[in-house]
Chain A
Amino acid sequence: MGSQGGFYQSKEFLDLVKSIGEARSKAEEDRIVLSEIETLKRRISEPDTPKRKMKEYIIRLVYVEMLGHDASFGYIHAVKMTHDDTLLVKRTGYLAVTLFLNEDHDLIILIVNTIQKDLKSDNYLVVCVALNAVCKLINEETIPAVLPQIVELLAHPKEAVRKKAIMALHRFYQKSPSSVSHLVSNFRKRLCDNDPGVMGATLCPLFDLITNDVNSYKDLVISFVSILKQVAERRLPKAYDYHQMPAPFIQIKLLKILALLGSGDKQASENMYTVVGDIFRKCDSSSNIGNAILYECICCVSSIYPNPKLLESAADAISRFLKSDSHNLKYMGIDALGRLIKISPEIAEQHQLAVIDCLEDPDDTLKRKTFELLYKMTKSTNVEVIVDRMIDYMISINDNHYKTEIASRCVELAEQFAPSNQWFIQTMNKVFEHAGDLVNIKVAHNLMRLIAEGFGEDDNTADSQLRSSAVESYLYILGEPKLPSVFLQVICWVLGEYGTADGKYSASYITGKLCDVAEAYSNDETVKAYAVTALMKIYAFEIAAGRMVDMLPECHSLMEEFLASHSTDLQQRAYELQAVIGLDAHAVESIMPSDASCEDIEVDKALSFLNGYIQESIEKGAQPYIPESERSGMLNISNFRNQDHHEASSHGLRFEAYELPKQTVQARIPPASLASTELVPVPEPVYPRESYQTTTVPSVSSDAASTELKLRLDGVQKKWGRQTHFPSTSTSNSTSQKTVNGITQVDGSNTANSRTRETYDSRKQVEISPEKQKLAASLFGGPSKTEKKSATGHKSSKPSSHMVKSHAPKSSMEVASEKTSPVQQPPDLLDFGEPTVKSTAPSLDPFKDLEGLLEPTTQVSSAVNHSSTAAVTKSPDIMGLYTETPAGAHHKDSDILSGLSNSPMTNMVGGTTTMQVAQTSKSPNLKDSLEKDALVRQMGVTPSSQNPNLFKDLLG
């Protein structure tokens, strides 16, 4: 095709690009871009700008925006440009709008009309350009405007148009499935399109459709299988071959679809076995694309109804991946292993050492993937090792996103498989200590619940042991200088509930600690609130036990502070504490029964305990309550007012009516009395309120009561709004999730136990360090049973062959690199080296692949080049050598930027050096690059001078 890369742009633009390239700092770059924006703003709004100029301005806008600056002033001009008649201008306009606008932009409505017009064009290129824009810009609201036209285009004579039309419909399906649900038959039809490109494109929407509804497409299994078979048998045109593989991207898509269709469907799966097996056999595992297909095959096999033969092939492929030197393949192998162990858990142990290697690999990506695998294979026998490792890793990283994820995984595994309560609490402590506020608050609630409930067994001593150990560990941890808020909440709650339960610690000791917490974290109101409530509990337990309460001085001062706090929540808690302390033992015990956090609370929705009171009132002449539903009139008025009005109107005189609100209030909603009782602790109304508070019924669930409650509190909401919030969130969890957890726990451990017994192994690895062995043993099962004797021989032979294999290519590469580039780093600049190195015989030239890729013309020259400058080409970063030697100007980093930013003086020299460099290094395309270089300099731009990287072939 030759070089199409002429520079159509004006010198101005080239200068801009160059000066940005030379910018030494981000600030400098910003300055240049800002002045460019000013220029463009001025020019673009000038009247009568020629189209060609305008087109260039728009491209410059795209450039500016690409650098992260705002070019929104020019959007409208780009939109206008799409209206243009000439394809040249129109294409630029469409490109700009698709890059500028997100689908929710206001300007899109202005483009829809143009798109409609262009879709009707008789020039198929215009239609294609418009379809590109459709895929990016048409949003849910504008789909109907273009849908009929696009459906029509499905029958367009040009395959390029059909293909894009399919993709557009696919996009519509993603945006709003209902908009194209009636068009499914069209997709099916296009599957039989004559053009393989259109067929391949059709697989995209079909994949989505099948993902959402497998059963409607079971009839297509046969078609997909036969297409895949034909593809694998190279029936498609040669143009679809990629690195000697027949249409690999289509194969991969088909395998994905088959995986969906065959999942859990024996009959459908049986149709696929042959073809998948064929592909396993045919796949060339020495090329990257071959491995991509192999990986997809493994995914397919692990998704469809299991077939022993295919599983075996999959396991083979996985072990090849894992034994490879390429990190990429190891990564894929770990991932594939994670998929396959769901079906055949026993294959994991063959690879235990590979897995451990990956776990200890310096590559974070690989490590994380391995943790994911471990997470999948955790059971009660190895949970301790795995979670410990996860926590260690969690501590070592800074990436908050991943920290959160791995913390929640630790928690999940610990909850599911914890071998002992002690361990569980310690693990949770670690997680909280290190991941702290990243942990979901629910986890904290779960932990509190767990401590409160114990492990669901009836053994009370175990539970109290659990609690004592929790208390003990928390008292110890409180010594740490800084703890996350969530964790402190848990600590306060547990200390309040169980701090004095076992009598080991005195109330004054615990309260002292709680006061310390409240003081140390004085800007965290939630923690302070937890601390105050915990104090209240401790004192209440003391009083109930008949002991004298003797408030610490620091507690007194704390209370004084809180009584005057700006936080109404804290204030209220403090007042409550004050009130509770003043009560007698009997009252306190019913308010704050000890260890009652998981007692079920009976909610008397009918509030029958008030019947007597009501009776009395009615006898005194009060009006009986009329349920809302039975009332008439006054429809659209809120409940609260409704009532008042009702009563007011029925009673002529106000004086008596005064009593009525009181009656209804107390009759129906005890919490409402809260407001009044707060300041004056009258024992009678306190009962219902306090029992609500401590035991915390999530009374929100009883709808009648809750609406009342909200309404009633309206008047005082500003003051008391938060009060109900805290206690109910913290403990409502505990009641609701109790049973669920109990069940899963038992289940989980049972199944895990039975499974692990099967996978015990005690094989000895000769060449492996005992540490790793130990780790392997603890991960993959304890060394208790010897089940697989045959495996021993099998295993020990495997690693050795692996060693031999891997050594040969490595050494050859090493030699090559030593010979050529002692200056620069190893030959993996171009990733080409990787796939070839890892897998095949040492004799294979890593660049062999390359030759196939290049154009016939370049192929010749490159072949020549290979022989002549074999050493040079071997090390792809040879450029580094050249930058340093010929120019003499010793640039540390041989990159474009530093090259571009040369001083004018070296620039002159640079001109010649570039030539040299281009000549020697880039010999396969020597002429091209020379031309380019000449052209650039002709334009007056010397972008590269010393820096040859700019001219360096991307493909090597």
Chain B
Amino acid sequence: MIHFVLLISRQGKVRLTKWYSTYSKKERSKVLRELSGVILTRGPRLCNFVEWRGLKVVYKRYASLYFCMCIDPDGNELEILEIIHHYVEVLDRYFGSVCELDLIYNFHKAYYILDEILISGELQESSKRTVVRSVAAQDSLVEAAKEETGSTISNIIAHAAK
């Protein structure tokens, strides 16, 4: 199980945090502090894994952004690396060659996408196409909703009149 997902920039700025296990606010900032200290200072060519408080953190750097996931000690680290990559690929498809700026300003979108890939710390969907489609479906409805804010009400009225 994945306990949490963190996106940290090279300067230690937090770009996204998602907690699947229960952490209090205090613990959260402690985790962030500790892990960014550990991960950002690791040299190149080392393992993409860090053992941390009895758990394992798998991280991968994309441009200047670190994607980190924390898993149980018996997890398959290579698989987690690929889950990270899977997420990045979906982000890339969605944003169209994603860059850090996209994630900074649209972090909520990144959350929506993550919610379609991971749920309660497990991989729920491994098909990129399915993920992108379901996020797009939500988006298109959102777009539609934007345009016809009034019409939903009229729909309901029409429905009720039947």
Nearest 10 A-B pairs (CB), nearest first?
A: A925-B97, A292-B78, A954-B62, A249-B126, A952-B63, A3-B96, A239-B129, A239-B127, A363-B46, A950-B101
Nearest Cβ distance between residue A779 and chain B, in whole angstroms?
22
From B10, B93, B134, give the contact of A855 (CB < 8 A). B93
Do A954 and B82 have beta carbons less than 8 Å apart?
Answer: no
Tell me if A331 and B47 are in contact (CB < 8 A).
yes
- B94 surroundings in chain A (CB, below 8 A): 1, 4
Query: What 0/1 readout, one digit per residue, does chain A (931-956) give for beta carbons within 8 Å of chain B?
Result: 01000100000011000011111111
Instruction: Check if B128 sits within 8 Å of A239, measured CB to CB.
Output: yes
**Contact flags A818-855 to B (C-beta < 8 A → 1, else 0):** 00000001101111001000000000000000000111
> Chain A residues with Cβ under 8 A from B146's Cβ?
88
Q: Are A4 and B139 in contact (CB under 8 A)?
A: yes
**0 or 1 for each of A239-257: is its CB under 8 Å from B? (1 = yes):** 1101100011110100000
Q: Tell me which of A95, A200, A365, A954 contacts B112 (CB under 8 A).
A: A95
Query: Contacts A829-B44, A929-B97 given; 6 further ones with Cβ under 8 A?
Result: A5-B109, A88-B141, A296-B79, A853-B89, A954-B88, A955-B89
Q: Sample 30 A-B pairs with CB under 8 A, ordered by A number.
A: A2-B96, A5-B96, A5-B102, A17-B104, A17-B105, A20-B13, A21-B13, A68-B28, A85-B152, A87-B141, A87-B145, A91-B112, A92-B108, A95-B108, A95-B115, A129-B138, A132-B119, A160-B130, A201-B122, A328-B49, A330-B47, A363-B47, A366-B46, A405-B54, A826-B45, A896-B13, A897-B11, A952-B100, A954-B91, A956-B63
Q: Which residue of A lies closest to B56 (CB)?
A: A365
Contacts of B18 in A (CB 8 A): 99
A66 within 8 A of B: yes
Residues of B within 8 A of A66 (CB): 14, 16-17, 107
Interface residues on B, range: 35 or more
- Complex Cα distance, B78 from A296, in Å, reads 10
A401 near B108 with CB under 8 A, answer: no
Query: Across the interface, do B142 and A91 meet the contact criterion of CB distance under 8 Å?
Result: yes
Is the beta-carbon distance between A164 and B124 smaller than 8 angstroms? yes
B-side contacts of A955, CB under 8 Å: 62, 88-89, 92, 97-98
Majority-rule SS of A interface residues: helix
Task: Return B84 CB to nearest CB of chain A, in Å.
Answer: 10
Complex CA–CA separation, A369 to B108 (angstroms): 37
Asked if A125 and B137 make an inter-chain contact with CB atoms under 8 angstroms apart, the answer reads yes
**B100 near A950: Cβ-Cβ < 8 Å:** yes
A897 to B13, CA, bound (A): 9
Residue B154 lies at the interface, judged by CB distance under 8 Å to chain A = no
Residue of B45, B77, B92, B108 near A954 (CB, 8 A) is: B92
Instruction: With A135-B119, A944-B101 as known contacts, state yes or no: A327 contacts B11, CB within 8 Å.
Output: no
Q: Mark A883-904, 1 if CB is under 8 A from B, else 0.
A: 0000000000001110000000
Bound form: Cα–Cα A834–B92 in Å: 21
Q: Which residues of B contact A7 (CB under 8 A)?
A: 105-106
Query: For residues 53 through 104 of chain B, which have their beta carbon under 8 Å from a beta carbon of chain A?
Result: 53-54, 60-65, 76-79, 81-83, 85-86, 88-89, 91-102, 104
Contact A1 B96 (CB under 8 A): yes
The answer for the CA separation of A136 and B136 in the assembled complex, in Å, is 22
Residue of B nearest to A825 (CB): B44
Q: Which A residues touch B162, using CB under 8 A?
A: none
Q: A2-B96, A401-B53 are in contact. Are A104 and B145 (CB under 8 A)?
A: no
Return the contact of B141 from the options A70, A125, A247, A825 (Cβ within 8 A): A125
* B78 contacts A332, C-beta separation under 8 Å: yes
**Residue A103 lies at the interface, judged by CB distance under 8 Å to chain B:** yes
Please tell me if the beta carbons of B99 and A951 are within 8 angstroms of each other in the complex: yes
Q: Give chain A residues whose Cβ lies under 8 Å from the Cβ of B78.
A: 288-289, 291-292, 295, 328, 332
Task: Give B99's nearest chain A residue, CB to CB.
Answer: A951
A250 and B96 in contact (CB under 8 A), knowing A1-B132, A103-B22, A944-B101?
no
Q: Is A142 an interface residue (CB 8 A)?
A: no
Q: A86-B152, A135-B120, A242-B126 are in contact. Are A925 and B14 (CB under 8 A)?
A: no
Interface 0/1 of B19-56, CB less than 8 Å to A: 11011110011001000000000001111111101100
Asked whether, in the complex, the Cβ of A949 is within 8 Å of the Cβ of B106, the reply is no
Check if B25 sits within 8 Å of A91, measured CB to CB.
Answer: no
User: Which of chain B's residues have a CB closer than 8 A to the CB of A73?
Assistant: none
A72, chain B: closest CB distance, angstroms:
9
- B60 surroundings in chain A (CB, below 8 A): 831
Interface pair A368/B127, CB less than 8 Å apart: no
**Residues of B close to A249: CB separation below 8 A:** 79, 82-83, 86, 123, 126
Q: How far is the CA of A944 from the CA of B51 in the complex (A)?
A: 35
Whether B82 lies near A248 (C-beta < 8 A) is yes
| B48→A328 contact, CB < 8 A | yes
Name the one of B25, B50, B115, B124 contacting A201, with C-beta atoms under 8 angstroms: B124
- Contact partner of B108 (CB less than 8 A), chosen from A62, A168, A296, A944, is A62
Are B97 and A328 within 8 A (Cβ)?
no
- A200 and B125 CA atoms in complex are apart in Å by 8
Given A103-B22, A132-B119, A895-B64, check contact A21 B104 (CB 8 Å): yes
- The verdict on A14 contacting chain B, using a C-beta distance below 8 Å, is yes
Binary B-proximity of A189-207 (CB < 8 A = 1, otherwise 0): 0000000110011001000
B143 CB to nearest A CB, Å? 9
Q: Closest residue to B32 on the A side, CB-wise? A: A68
B81 touches A328 (CB 8 A): yes
In the bound assembly, the distance between CA atoms of A63 and B17 in angstroms comes to 10
| In the complex with contacts A163-B125, A240-B126, A928-B96, A99-B111 CB distance below 8 A | yes
CB distance A59 to B108 under 8 Å?
A: yes
By beta carbon, the residue of chain A nearest B102 is A5
How far, in angstroms, from A368 to B94 measured CA to CA in the complex? 39
- Give the distance in Å from the alpha carbon of A9 to the alpha carbon of B122 in the complex: 31
Is A67 engaged at the interface, CB distance under 8 Å to the other chain? yes
Q: Which residue of A lies closest to B83 (CB)?
A: A249
CA distance A171 to B137 in the complex (A): 25
From B46, B53, B54, residue with most partner A Cβ within 10 Å:
B46
Q: Decide yes or no: A943 and B47 within 8 Å by CB, A3-B96, A5-B109, A163-B125 being known contacts.
A: no
Chain B: CB-nearest residue to A124 = B137
Inter-chain CA distance A797–B125, complex, in Å, is: 45
Given contacts A125-B141, A249-B83, A944-B101, contact A296 B76 (CB under 8 A): yes
Closest to A862 in B: B97
B residues less than 8 Å from A956 (CB atoms): 62-63
Q: Which of B47, B54, B88 contacts A366 (CB 8 A)?
A: B47
Smallest beta-carbon distance B23→chain A, Å: 8
- The answer to whether B97 touches A928 (Cβ under 8 A) is yes
How close is B9's CB to chain A, nearest CB, in angstroms?
6
Q: Give the distance to chain B from A832, nearest Cβ to Cβ, in Å.
A: 9
Interface string of A869-883 (1 = CB under 8 A from B): 000000000010000
Given the interface contacts A1-B132, A365-B49, does A855 sit within 8 Å of B96 by beta carbon? Answer: yes
- With a CB–CB cut-off of 8 A, which chain B residues contact A853? 89, 92
Q: Are B120 and A826 in contact (CB under 8 A)?
A: no
**Contact across chains for A950 and B99 when beta carbons are under 8 A apart:** yes
Give the distance in Å from the alpha carbon of A220 to the alpha carbon of B95 in the complex. 41
Q: Which of the listed residues B16, B22, B82, B134 has the most CB atoms from chain A within 10 Å of its own CB? A: B82
Contact with B along A691-704 (1 / 0, CB 8 A): 00000000000000
> Nearest Cβ in chain A — how far from B117, in angstroms?
10
B99 touches A292 (CB 8 A): no
A160 touches B104 (CB 8 A): no
Contact A164 B76 (CB under 8 A): no
Find out whether the CB atom of A164 lies under 8 angstroms from the CB atom of B119: yes
Within 8 A of B (CB), among A335-366: 362-363, 365-366
CA distance A168 to B152 in the complex (A): 29
| Distance to closest chain A CB from B25 (angstroms) | 7
Residues of A within 8 Å of B19, CB to CB, are: 102
Decide if A170 is an interface residue (CB 8 Å cutoff): yes
> Which residue in B47, B102, B111 is a CB contact (below 8 Å) of A95?
B111
With a cutoff of 8 Å between Cβ atoms, the chain A residues found around residue B134 in the complex are: 128, 160
Once A936-B101, A950-B101, A952-B64 are accepted as A-B contacts, the answer to whether A163 and B124 lie under 8 Å apart by CB is yes
Q: For the complex, give the distance between the alpha carbons of A66 and B14 in Å.
A: 7
Residues of A within 8 A of B97 (CB): 854, 858, 922, 924-925, 928-929, 953, 955
